[in-house]
Amino acid sequence: MATAIEPMPRDRLSDRRRRRGRELLQGWGFAAPAIVLLAVFLVLPFILAIYSSFTDQRLVPNPNLPTKWVGLRNYRRLFENESFLSGLVFNGIFVLVVVPLQTAFALGLAVLVNQKLKFRNAFRTIYFAPVAVTMVVVAVMWTSFFNPSAGLVNSVLDTVSFGFLTPERFGFLNWALDRHGARAAIIILSIWQGVGFQMVIYLAGLQSIPDSLYEAARIDGANPWQQFRHVTIPQLRNTTIFVVLSTTILAFALFDQVEIMTQGGPQDATQTMILRLITFGFRQGQVGMGSALGVFYFVLVVVVAFTQRRLLKEERAVA
Amino acid sequence: MEVMDAVRHVEEGVDVAGRSRRLRLRRPLTYAVMVLLAIFFVFPVVAMVVLSLQPDETQVIADQDSIWAFFPRALSLQNYEDIFGRDVGRAVFNSALITVVTVGLGLVVNSMCAYGLARLQWIGRSVVIGAVVALMIVPFQSVSVPLLLVVNRLGWLDTYHVQIIPFVANPFFIFLFYQAFIGLPKEIEEAALIDGAGRWTIYRRIVAPLSRPTFATVGILQALFVWGSFFWPLMVTRGPDVRPLPVAMQVLFSDPNVPLGDVFAFAAVMTLPILALYLAFQKWFVQSVASQGLKG
């Protein structure tokens, strides 16, 4: 190998070495602030989360009870905890309802504002606007709209149904006070705030479909519905995979609106994983339990993200 | 052949007539649907603003479920005066400070890191790129509890920096900058290098100005995250001194003695500045939020 190196004038060789040495230093110099911050505030807590999830670590240590290794106890307790299981149930319901509804709604909105219509930019602006509204504010506003006796929602329902849809007749119209009503209310306000984001992603997807495909379909005699079904939908496959899975991940993170509106009630009907995480890890000071939940949550997110990569790769392999 | 052509012409003729009739019917229908949807998306904001201008609390309660939630019967800033007497000014200041400092530092730190990764050859570079991509997947919530333990030991609770420093560096933002930088033409930078410019000068004078759209994208995205952040401040702030808006909003909202008019005024204070910025820089906002699509 050594013989392969051509003899080089000394000054040029050292010059190149010096430059490479400088690049090494400069490279680390540019990256160092971010690397240090990520190491301290992301990597270290991540390692700590895995470690503490096997200990009985507490937020405020008790000097008489040193932290000890407890094996899988935290994980076992987690899955014996009724509230946590209720949280899993509501997170699951939320995913199953919100993901299809919001995805279909977003696609519908994107198709609407993608037409050549007057004022379409104004409509785009309006449909996207809730994304710029902080979730805490959204939750506060909708909590007052969903007030069973003095809220806008019930008053509208009452009016359009000529007094048929009332909380007395339908329990769920007590919204935050009713198991099903609370779930429905959280779902509605979440879609209201989130759908604009997915709409924008779909809009970008729609605009990347070549016109020639639609022309070809028209020549073959496809009507608008057939064009949508056989050109638009298949062409949006990757966009849909992204939208579905990112909505799923967001749905697992459900917290702000629940904390404001119901705090997980009534009777744990709107309990969520992250609500439990903050209860264990912060309010009850059980770092071990909170960490175990954090690790479980991380694994869930990784599974969803890898499903997405797998599906996208398949697509590339086929194409 | 001729017969076939004739048939086709007839068919097309019928079809065109049918289609234009359908279109004539469809247009107003489309608009009606779009307007209804627009109402669905704006009514909470309109009601919030209208009710916040009503100084009489009994009137707020009476109006909130009627048509008067959308047409102001009073134009008074009384509620706004009231909430600014309740430490809201402090919360606005806190949120603004935390957002500006986090975004300012974040833009510098994340873009610098991305520049180092995109343009310099150094040992460990590919490992760092791999780590950044891998870390994009770690949700903040899953590391929040041990991080709380760490900042608690450091005595950082109830400070500004506990709400700033952990959120400066962000793997996803590094990734966005990295993608933008590797797409820039190398020639200008190489010419500058030959002219004797240092890397820092090149980053500041050439790369950063050329990537302004990416800076805007990342800045808006990070600002939206920080401004709306609720989960972490809930755990690390106690009193009103460093409390940001979302937590202050929860405190106000869960106090039964606080009039609704004040709650609506507070909501308007939190929302209207962002909405104004959104309307002014709409394109950037949409692009920012849509850039999350790159995560896939």
Where along chain A do its domains lie?
Answer: 83-318
The per-residue pLDDT for A57 is 87
Tokens of B109: 């730190």
Closest of A31, A20, A17, A22 to residue B118, by C-alpha: A31
Residues in chain B with CB shorter than 8 Å from the CB of A48 are 143, 146-147, 149-150
The per-residue pLDDT for B20 is 58
Residues in chain A with CB shorter than 8 Å from the CB of B121 are 20, 23-24, 27
**A residues 239-258 closer than 8 Å to B (CB):** 239, 241-242, 245-246, 249, 253, 255-256
Q: Which of B15, B142, B282 to mutate to test the interface with A (most CBs of A within 10 A)?
A: B142
pLDDT digits (tens, 9 = 90+) for A29-62: 999 999 999 999 999 999 999 999 999 888 887 7
Nearest-by-CA chain A residue for B121: A23
Q: Dihedral through CA A295, CA A297, CA A303, CA A308, nearest 10?
A: -130
- Looking at the complex, does the CB of residue A216 fall below 8 Å from at least one CB of chain B? no
* Dihedral of alpha carbons B221, B222, B223, B225, sign: positive
Judge: A133–B169 Cβ closer than 8 Å, yes or no.
no
Q: How far is B5 from chain A (nearest CA, A)?
A: 15
Residues in chain B with CB shorter than 8 Å from the CB of A130 are 41
A69 phi and psi angles, rounded to 5 deg = -70, 130
pLDDT digits (tens, 9 = 90+) for A156-182: 888 888 888 888 888 888 888 899 999
Of the candidates B142, B152, B231, the beta carbon closest to that of A298 is on B142
Q: How far is B296 from chain A (nearest CA, A)?
A: 6
A208 phi and psi angles, rounded to 5 deg = -90, 0
- Looking at the complex, does the CB of residue A264 fall below 8 Å from at least one CB of chain B? no
Residues in chain A with CB shorter than 8 Å from the CB of B285 are 128, 132
Please tell me whether the peptide bond between A266 and the residue prior to it is cis, using omega within 30 degrees of 0. Answer: yes
User: What mean pLDDT value characterizes chain A?
Assistant: 89
Of the candidates A57, A132, A204, the beta carbon closest to that of B275 is on A132
Nearest-by-CA chain A residue for B251: A260
The per-residue pLDDT for A79 is 95
* Residues paired with residue A55 on neighbouring β-strands, in sequence order: A69
Q: Dihedral through CA B125, CA B218, CA A192, CA A136, nearest 10?
A: 100
Q: Which of B8, B119, B127, B143 to mutate to test the interface with A (most CBs of A within 10 A)?
A: B143
> Which ipTM was obtained for this model?
0.88
Q: How far is B277 from chain A (nearest CA, A)?
A: 9
Tokens of A297: 């949550």
User: A317 falls in which pLDDT band (50, 70, 90)?
Assistant: low
The per-residue pLDDT for A10 is 54
Topology of the domain comprising A83-318: MetI-like fold (1.10.3720)
SS3 A184: helix
Of the candidates A42, A123, A143, the beta carbon closest to that of B34 is on A123
pTM, entire model: 0.88
Mean pLDDT confidence for A70-90: 94
Q: Dihedral through CA A305, CA A306, CA A309, CA A315, nearest 10?
A: -120
The residue whose two tokens read 């505030």 is A41
Judge: A28–B286 Cβ closer than 8 Å, yes or no.
no
Closest of B183, B179, B161, B163 to residue B171, by C-alpha: B179
Give chain A's length. Answer: 319
% of chain A surpassing 70 pLDDT: 93
Query: From first to last of its 296 residues, what are the pLDDT tens digits of chain B?
Result: 344 444 444 444 444 445 555 566 678 888 999 999 999 999 999 999 999 998 888 888 878 888 888 888 888 888 898 888 777 889 999 999 999 999 999 999 999 999 999 988 888 899 999 999 999 999 999 999 999 999 998 999 999 999 999 999 999 999 999 999 998 888 888 888 888 888 899 999 999 999 998 999 899 989 999 999 999 999 999 888 999 999 999 999 998 888 889 999 999 999 998 999 899 888 888 888 887 776 64
**What end-to-end distance do the CA atoms of chain B give, in Å?**
52
Of the candidates B121, B270, B293, the beta carbon closest to that of A137 is on B270
* Cβ-based neighbours of A128, under 8 Å, separated by 6 or more: A196, A197, A199, A200, B285, B286, B289
Residues in chain A with CB shorter than 8 Å from the CB of B102 are none
Q: Which domains, ranges and CATH numbers included, belong to chain B?
A: 2-76 (no CATH), 81-295 (1.10.3720.10)
Residues in chain A with CB shorter than 8 Å from the CB of B41 are 126-127, 129-130, 192, 196
Of the candidates B41, B125, B141, the beta carbon closest to that of A130 is on B41
